[in-house]
Amino acid sequence: MAMLMSGLSLENGAQNSLSSSSSLTSDNVKINIIYKFFIDTGMFFGLALVQIVLRYVTKIWFPFKIQDFTDFCSVSNISIFLLDDYLHGYYLHG
């Protein structure tokens, strides 16, 4: 998160000043912890939202083969018993 804030020049956004320029040092201007919390939280939720949207779009364009197979078995009402080990397996109820 710190690298992202540094890359977007938001590391000075929580200072108690009207200017967010990087020329001000932290010795001269205090950092407001509440502003810093809300900036960090907003960036965290923004990144989470981007990941959720990308996962949803990826799932629509590139679905998993096993998910397509499970949907096919469910629609056609076929039950399948798969064994992946000697005494272990899966039952797909259609």
Average pLDDT, the chain: 78
CA gap 21, 82 in Å, rounded: 62
pLDDT bracket for residue 36 (50, 70, 90): confident
Q: Supply the pTM of this predicted model.
A: 0.52
Q: Which two tokens stand for residue 69?
A: 């197979």
Q: Are 13 and 37 in contact (CB under 8 A)?
A: no
In angstroms, what CA-CA distances link 39 with 8, 33, 43?
12, 10, 6
| pLDDT above 60 for 76 | yes
Q: Which two tokens stand for residue 17?
A: 């000043």
Query: How much is the pLDDT for 2?
Result: 63
**Residue 83: in which H helix or E strand, if any?**
strand 80-83
Average pLDDT over residues 6-18: 63
Domain locations in the chain as residue ranges: 1-62, 63-94
| pLDDT above 60 for 93 | yes
Average pLDDT over residues 35-43: 82
